[in-house]
């Protein structure tokens, strides 16, 4: 699977070769929301990763061996409130299972954003603009 950034999304600071295995809907969306907001269901992380691995095998999804997992960071206020970053937990589990590197010091959150649960796509894009900063090149 070759990741790429859509032409209309590209700027000189855009990441390239992003990979998304699923659309954010249905069971995936509901599972991720549960993991994101309810500490009691963090046990779903290994189950979700089992599902991802099975899906990748079934549909022959290939991720290059030099792939690097970069979880999107939370703002400090949000991290204090939630006590964990679900993207980091999922990335950590999948990177271990699939034999990839994970980097957590590539991005930092520089601006707190409002909840996106009730925002449409245009509002979400505006909400996260300039919220994260790349620390390494």
Domain residue ranges in the chain? 7-134
pLDDT digits (tens, 9 = 90+) for 11-32: 655 666 677 788 889 999 899 9
Q: List, for residues 63-75, the tens digit of each pLDDT value.
A: 888 889 999 999 9
How does DSSP assign the chain, residue by residue? ------GGG--TT---S----S-S-HHHHHHHHHHHH-GGGTTHHHHHHHHHHHHHHHTT----TT-EE-PPPPPHHHHHHHSS-HHHHHHHHHHHHHT-EE-SSSEEE-S-----TT--HHHHHHHHTT-EEE---
Determine the pLDDT at residue 1.
44
- The pTM for the full model equals 0.80
What's residue 126's pLDDT?
Answer: 92
Residue range 81-122, pLDDT digits in tens = 999 999 999 999 999 999 999 999 988 999 999 988 889 989
């Amino acid at each position: 699977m070759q990741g790429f950034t859509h032409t209309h999304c590209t700027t000189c600071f855009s990441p390239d070769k992003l990979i998304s295995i699923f659309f954010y809907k249905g069971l995936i969306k509901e599972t991720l929301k549960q993991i994101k907001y309810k500490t009691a269901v963090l046990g779903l992380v290994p189950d979700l990763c089992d599902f991802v691995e099975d899906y990748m095998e079934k549909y022959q999804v290939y991720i290059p061996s030099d792939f690097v997992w970069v979880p999107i960071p939370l703002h400090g206020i949000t991290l204090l409130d939630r006590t964990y970053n679900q993207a980091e937990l999922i990335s950590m589990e999948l990177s271990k299972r699939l034999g990839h590197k994970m980097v957590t010091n590539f991005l930092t959150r520089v601006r707190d954003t409002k909840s996106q649960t009730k925002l449409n796509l245009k509002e979400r894009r505006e909400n996260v603009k300039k919220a994260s900063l790349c620390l390494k090149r």
